[in-house]
Amino acid sequence: MNELKTPIRVLAVDDHELLRDGIRLSLLKEKDIELVGEARSGEDALQKCNRLVPDVVLMDMQLPHMDGIAATRAIKEANPDTQVLVLTSFVEKDLVQGAIQAGAVGYLTKGASKFEIADAIRAAYAGETALSPEATQALIQATKAPKSPGTDLTKRQREVLKLMVAGLNNNEIGVRLFLSPSTVSYHVSEILSKLGASNRAEAAALAVQYRIVD
């Protein structure tokens, strides 16, 4: 139980009024938590955060116009001390990873009990991570997911690859990019290694297939 004299100030963000009503009711008996506001969209949440300066924001992911990830990022940029705790029905790994990268400190599903939500709010207020088992599993899957080819190419290597796709040889690439032949050869070798390609033609094919270059 939080022993603070001042309750933790919470803003609930959800576009469904019924769900906001449920959150309000679930927090009524928590003496150390106070629901200070409600928002039905990302833009509304940002405006109310700037006005109310809550300690914790309960954030849904699927919102009209500005989604939960964008709203989380905007809130953290404007109010760094406000903690964002996701409370949503969606636990796809891209959503969980995106929310955490945007600055959310926790991720719960709407199947969580009122006790779990209250404890997660307290943890979020303390800057501690609160993840549902589903969110934890989604993050594990995200770390295991193979990276798309080309994500580790440098800007210069992408420029070289683009010219390789266009059919230019090393000398022509060097002239176009003002690089020495040895430098071009080095970049080509790195590109082949990073793409796992055995030759220039395969590298060019992978670049087109995975849209690594424009």
Identify the sign of the CA torsion 68, 53, 114, 24. negative
Residue 91 lies in a domain: yes
> Which residue ranges of the chain lie beneath pLDDT 50?
1-2
pLDDT, residue 1, reads 45
Question: What DSSP designation does 15 have?
Answer: S
As a whole number of Å, the CA-based R_g of the chain is: 24
Evaluate whether 28 touches 142 at the Cβ level (below 8 Å).
no
Task: Say whether 168 sits in a helix, a strand or coil.
Answer: coil
Q: What is the pTM of this model?
A: 0.66
pLDDT, residue 154, reads 87
Residue 168 lies in a domain: yes
Distance of alpha carbon 73 from alpha carbon 150, whole angstroms: 27
Residue ranges making up the domain that contains 136 = 8-144
Residue 128 lies in a domain: yes
Residue 43 lies in a domain: yes
Identify the helix (H) or strand (E) that includes residue 127: none
Could you tell me if 90 and 109 lie in one domain?
A: yes
Evaluate whether 124 touches 85 at the Cβ level (below 8 Å).
yes
